Amino acid sequence: MSFFTRKLNGKLNKNLNSNPMNNTATLLPVNTFVLARKNAWLLWLCQCLNIATIALELGTWMLAIITLSLTWQAFLLHRSFERPNSKKLAERRTKHAKNKQNGPVSPFVLATFAIAGCLTIVITAPQHGLLISMVHLLCFSYVLKAFELKARSDFYQLILLGIFVLASALIFKQDLAFSAMVVSLLLLNFVVLLQYFSSNNVFFANLKIIGILMTQSVLLAVVLFIVFPRLSPFWQIPIAKSAETGLSDTVKPGDIAKLTRSSKLAFRVSFEQQSPPVYSQLYWRAMVLEDYDGRQWTKRFKRDNNKPSQLYIEANKAGVKPITYQVLAEPSFQKYLFALAPANLSEAFNGSIIPQSDYTFLSSSVISQTKAYHLTSYLGAPIGVTLDDDSKALNLAYPKNSNPRLEQLALQLSHNYSEPLQRAQAVLNLINEENYAYTLEPPLLKNNSLDQFFFDTQSGFCVHYASAFTFLMRASGIPARMVTGYLGGEYNEKSATDNNKAQGHLSIYQYDAHAWSEIWIQGKGWLRIDPTSAVDPERVNSGWSDDLLQQQSALINELFSRSLFKNSDFLNALRLQFDALDYQWTKWVVGFSTKQQYDLLTAWFGNVKSWKVALIIVITLIISMTAVLFIFNWLNRADKKQHRQNLADKIYAKALLTLAGLGIDKPPAMTVNDFAKQIREKQPMLAISFTRLSNSYSNLCYQNVSEEDKALLTITMQQQYQQFVKNIKSHK
Amino acid sequence: MPHTSPLSDQVQASQATISEILQKIESVVLGKPKECRLALACLLAQGHLLIEDLPGMGKTTLAHVLATTLGLSYQRTQFTNDLLPADVVGFSIFNNQANTFELHKGPIFNQVVLADEINRASPKTQSALLEAMAEHQVSIDGVTHELPTPFFVIATQNPLFHAGTYPLPESQLDRFMMRLSLGFPDIKAEKNILLNDAQRTNQTNKGNTFDPVVDQQTLITMQAAVTQISVSNDVIDYILALSHMSRQNYIADDAKLGTRHNISEDIVCKPLSPRASKSLLQAAKAMAFINNRDYVLPDDVQAVFYVVCQHRLEVQPSQNISLSQLEASSVANQILNSVDVLNPLSYQ
Predicted-complex ipTM score: 0.80
Spatial distance between the Cα atoms of B333 and A250, rounded to a whole number of angstroms: 93
Å from B153 to nearest chain A CA? 32
Using a CB-CB cut-off of 8 Å, the residues of chain B touching A702 are 232, 234-235, 295-298
pLDDT, average across residues A313-326: 70
Q: Determine the residue among A3, A639, A671, A695 to mutate to test chain B binding: the one whose Cβ has the most chain B Cβ atoms within 10 Å.
A: A671
Beta bridge partners of A288: A483
Q: Rounded CA gap, A331 and A536, in Å?
A: 31
Q: Which residue has the higher pLDDT, A307 or A675?
A: A675
H or E stretch at A581: helix A569-585
CA–CA dist B286, B22 (Å, integer): 14
User: Which DSSP state fits A454?
Assistant: I
Cβ separation of A672 and B341 shorter than 8 Å?
Answer: yes
Cβ contacts (< 8 Å) between B297 and chain A: which residues?
Answer: 671, 673, 698, 702
Residue A486 lies in a domain: yes
Beta-carbon separation of A702 and B232 below 8 A: yes
A234 in a domain, yes or no?
A: no
How many domains, in total, are found in chain A? 4
Q: Looking at residue A7, what is its pLDDT?
A: 40
Q: Which one-letter amino acid corresponds to residue A231? A: L
| Mean pLDDT value across residues A613-642 | 77
A147 occurs within a structural domain? yes
In CATH, what number does B6-222 get?
A: 3.40.50.300
Q: Which chain B residues touch A19 with a CB distance below 8 Å?
A: 260
Chain A environment of B340 (Cβ under 8 Å): 13, 17, 668-669
pLDDT tens-digit readout, B278-306:
999 999 999 999 988 888 999 999 999 98
The reported pLDDT for the residue numbered A281 is: 85
Residues of chain B with pLDDT under 70: 1-5, 160-163, 197-210, 249-268, 315-329, 346-348
**Among A residues 520-539, those touching chain B with beta carbons less than 8 Å apart:** none
Same-domain pairing of A388 and A366 = yes
CB distance B234–A13 less than 8 Å?
A: no
Q: Are residues A574 and A715 in the same domain?
A: no
CA closest to B338 among chain A residues: A669
Beta strands in chain B (DSSP E): 48-52, 74-78, 90-95, 100-105, 112-116, 137-140, 143-146, 152-157, 176-180
Alpha helices in A1-129 (DSSP H): 2-17, 24-27, 37-54, 60-81, 87-99, 107-128
Task: Look at B340 and A668 and tell me if their CB atoms are within 8 Å.
Answer: yes
CA distances from A542 to A279, A532, A545, B193 (A): 6, 13, 8, 118
What region, left, alpha or beta, does residue A673 occupy, with left being phi > 0 and alpha being psi -120 to 50 degrees? alpha
Find the angle CA(A727)-CA(A730)-CA(A732) to the nearest 5 degrees. Answer: 110
Cβ of A670 under 8 Å from any chain B Cβ?
yes
Query: CA geometry: angle at A241 spanning A239 and A243, to 5°?
Result: 120
Residue A483 has pLDDT above 80, yes or no: yes
B interface toward A at CB cutoff 8 Å?
A: 1, 3, 5, 230, 232, 234-235, 259-262, 294-299, 302, 336-343, 346, 348
Let me know if residue A8 belongs to a domain.
no
SS3 track for A244-305: CCCCCCEECCCHHHHHCCCCCEEEEEEECCCCCCCHHHCEEEEEEECEECCCCEECCCCCCC
A649 touches chain B (CB under 8 A): yes
Together in a domain, A333 and A407: yes
Query: Are A453 and A368 within one domain?
Result: yes
Residue from the list B232, B295, B336 with its beta carbon closest to the beta carbon of A669: B336
For residues A557-576, average pLDDT: 71
Q: Is A13's CB within 8 Å of B298's CB?
A: no
Tell whether A508 is covered by a domain: yes
How far apart are the C-alpha atoms of A719 and A115, rounded to whole Å? 57
Residue of A nearest to B259 (CA): A21
* 8 Å CB contact of B297 and A709: no
Nearest by CB to residue A673, choosing from B1, B297, B342, is B297
CA distance to partner chain B, nearest, from residue A137 (Å): 44
| pLDDT for the residue A191 | 92
If you measure CA to CA, which chain A residue comes closest to B341?
A: A669
Q: Which residues contact A56 (CB under 8 A, 6 or more apart)?
A: A172
Q: Which residues of B touch A669 (CB under 8 A)?
A: 336-341
Closest CB to A21: pick one of B230, B260, B339. B260
Averaged pLDDT of chain A: 79
pLDDT at A16 over 70: no
Strand, coil or helix: what is A411? helix
A660 touching B (Cβ < 8 Å): no
A618 and A702 fall within a common domain: no
CATH architecture of B229-338: Orthogonal Bundle (1.10)
Widest pairwise Cα distance in chain B: 73
Nearest of A464, A438, A448 to residue A517 by alpha carbon: A464
- Taking the C-alpha atoms of residue A449 and residue A447, their distance in angstroms, rounded to an integer, is 5
**Residues 6 or more apart whose Cβ sits within 8 Å of residue A669:** B336, B337, B338, B339, B340, B341
Residue A519 is assigned to a structural domain of this protein: yes
- Do A269 and A336 have their domain in common? yes
Cβ-contact A168, A138 below 8 angstroms: yes
Q: What pLDDT is stored for residue A97 in this prediction?
A: 45
Residues A547 and A646 in one domain: no
Q: What is the pLDDT of residue B280?
A: 93
Average pLDDT for residues A618-643, to the nearest whole number? 77
A732 pLDDT tier (thresholds 50, 70, 90): low
Residue pair B186/B31 in contact by the 8 Å Cβ criterion:
yes
Residues 15-74 of A with CB under 8 A from B: 16-17, 19, 21-22
- The answer to whether the CB atoms of B296 and A702 lie below 8 A apart is yes
- The most confident of the ranges A116-120, A127-131, A436-440 is A116-120
User: pLDDT class for A306, splitting at 50, 70, 90?
Assistant: low
Question: Does A178 lie in the same domain as A125?
Answer: yes
* Chain B contact present for A699, CB below 8 A: yes
A607 and A527 housed in the same domain? no
A707 at interface of B, judged by CB pairs closer than 8 A? no
A287 and A203 belong to one structural domain: no
What pLDDT score does B282 carry?
Answer: 93
Range scoring the smallest mean pLDDT among A9-13, A280-284, B119-123, B307-311: A9-13
Residues A200 and A293 in one domain: no
A-chain CB neighbours of B296 within 8 Å are 702
Q: Does A672 touch chain B (CB under 8 A)?
A: yes
Q: What is the pLDDT of residue B200?
A: 58
Q: Which residue of B has its CA nearest to A13?
A: B343
The answer to whether the Cβ–Cβ distance between B341 and A669 falls below 8 Å is yes
* Domain around A175: 31-227
Most B CBs within 10 Å: which of A704, A707, A715, A716, as the mutation test of the B interface? A704
What confidence score (pLDDT) does residue B121 get?
85
One domain, residues A299 and A190:
no
Lowest-pLDDT choice from A269-278, A308-317, A629-638, B252-261: B252-261
Tell me which chain B residue has its CA closest to the CA of residue A656: B342
pLDDT in tens, A27-48: 333 345 777 788 889 999 999 9
Mean pLDDT of A695-723: 85
DSSP B162: S
Residues of A in contact with B342 (CB under 8 A): 13, 16, 649, 652-653, 668, 672
Q: Which residue in the set B294, B296, B337 is minimally distant from A669, CB to CB?
A: B337
Report yes or no: A105 and A121 within 8 Å, Cβ to Cβ: no
Please name which of A152, A177, A144, A148 lies closest in space to residue A51, comparing C-alpha atoms: A144
Shortest Cα distance, chain B CAs vs residue A702, angstroms: 5
Which chain A residues are Cβ-neighbours of B341 within 8 angstroms?
668-672
* Spans of all domains in chain B: 6-222, 229-338
SS (H, E, C) A590-648: HCCCHHHHHHHHHHHHCCCCHHHHHHHHHHHHHHHHHHHHHHHHHHCHHHHHHHHHHHH
Collect all residues of chain B within an 8 Å Cβ-Cβ radius of residue A671: 297-299, 302, 341
A216 CB within 8 Å of a chain B CB? no
Cβ–Cβ below 8 Å for B1 and A669: no
Q: Cα distance from B14 to chain A (closest Cα, Å)?
A: 19
User: What is the spatial distance between Cα B245 and Cα B254, in angstroms, rounded to a whole number?
Assistant: 10
Using an 8 Å CB-CB cutoff, list chain B residues near A13.
340, 342-343, 346
Region A308-332: mean pLDDT is 70
Give the containing element (helix H, strand E) for B42: helix B33-44
Comparing CB atoms, the residue among A22, A652, A698 nearest residue B297 is A698
pLDDT digits (tens, 9 = 90+) for A91-128: 554 444 444 444 456 788 888 888 988 898 888 888 88
Q: A243 in a domain, yes or no?
A: no
